[in-house]
Amino acid sequence: MPVLKFSESTPEIVREGLERRNIYTSNLMTVIVDFTDGPWAEAEPFHSHTHEQTCYLASGEIIFYCEGEPDQHLQAGDMFAVASGKKHTVKILSATARLIDSFNPIRQEFIR
């Protein structure tokens, strides 16, 4: 599907307070991640994956943690990148946050 209209799409409910929508080609995936359960007292557990990742913080405020890097306090308009295999996580500081993630290769486990 070459077009995803936000108003006409149904999000995947990953857990309470976390919804996800995605669009992808054979080699690239873009994911809209909406958090509605902030602010958090603690960050999510660190994780890593083989995929390269970039992220644009469309709204909200977070702390981005990445293995071997200083913690980054980020606000709407900021971006970060994660190399393949790097452990990373976020902590949501605002009531809501929207992250726009891109992955290469695509994350098969995100496809419903």
Can you give the pLDDT at residue 1? 54
| pLDDT higher than threshold 70 for residue 103 | yes
**Rounded to two decimals, what is the model's pTM?**
0.94
Cα gap 86→55, rounded to integer Å? 14
Which of 61, 80, 59 lies closest to 70 in space, CA to CA? 80
| pLDDT higher than threshold 70 for residue 75 | yes
Question: How far, CA to CA in Å, does 110 sit from each of 61, 74, 87, 103?
Answer: 24, 25, 19, 11
Which residue, chain included where needed, has tokens 């990373």? 88
Q: Would you state the structure tokens that stand for residue 8, as one six-digit string?
A: 């006409």
Domains of the chain: 18-110 (2.60.120.10)
What's the mean pLDDT in 13-34?
97
